Amino acid sequence: MKRSLTSILVFGLAAAAASCGEVVRQGQSPVLLVIDRLEGSSGSTTPEPFSNPLYSDVLTRVTSPAPCTPEAPCYTIFSDAGRVTLRLIPKDITGPEPSSNNAVTITRYRVRYIRADGRNTPGVDVPYGFDGAATGTVPADGDLDLSFELVRHVAKQEAPLATLVTDSSTISTLAEVTFFGRDQVGNDISVTGMIQVNFGNFGL
């Protein structure tokens, strides 16, 4: 019995140490990643300007090129783009100026949709979240504009967005977008921002 308890205790301490090590590693970078701007653009043959909030159309009326015409339009689905402006700030404002080693390379991001009323079941109340790839480097002394996919076109073919095609109602969500990167010496770093995304068939 004592041997079993000892094994469990050792295993628990080892797991805790590993977890703490990961937390410490993520906090080792001497800089913080900051979002200056997070916007979206509704997809179409001529994408809308970037804005926040984003009005995401679940169905788009296309009148050109042929065979699509104003008299016989084609209806299709587009994904919606996102754009973020990222920069770095030092954790210690009294320390030395950031160097090229502090530049952060972003490699991926995660999108999760939530609603203010707490009804957040993916595929029922909100679209499914997803992970995506987007790569760019935030310089130590500048900023980075990075484009990414904010709403996948497949999400507009699944519940709950698919029901909006023939429905004049809308679904208002908050898209929580987290960007993950690493500085040039291997320290992990991330930052999270929010953008309002309103879904509907706005051409009805």
51-68 tens-digit pLDDT:
999 999 999 888 888 898
CATH code given to domain 30-200? 2.60.40.10
Instruction: Report the half-sphere exposure of 51 (CA within 13 A, side-chain side).
Output: 11
pLDDT for residue 28: 84
Q: Which residues of 11-20 are buried (b: 16+ CB within 10 A; e: fewer)?
A: eeeeeeeeee
Query: What is residue 27's predicted lDDT score, i.e. its pLDDT?
Result: 67
CA distances from 188 to 27, 32, 142, 168 (A): 8, 11, 19, 44
- pTM of the predicted structure, to 2 decimals: 0.83
Who has greater pLDDT, 116 or 129?
129
Confirm if 39 and 196 have CB atoms less than 8 A apart: no
Instruction: Say what percent of the chain tops pLDDT 90.
Output: 68
The pair of three-digit structure tokens given for residue 187, joined into one six-digit string? 């320290």
pLDDT of residue 11: 46
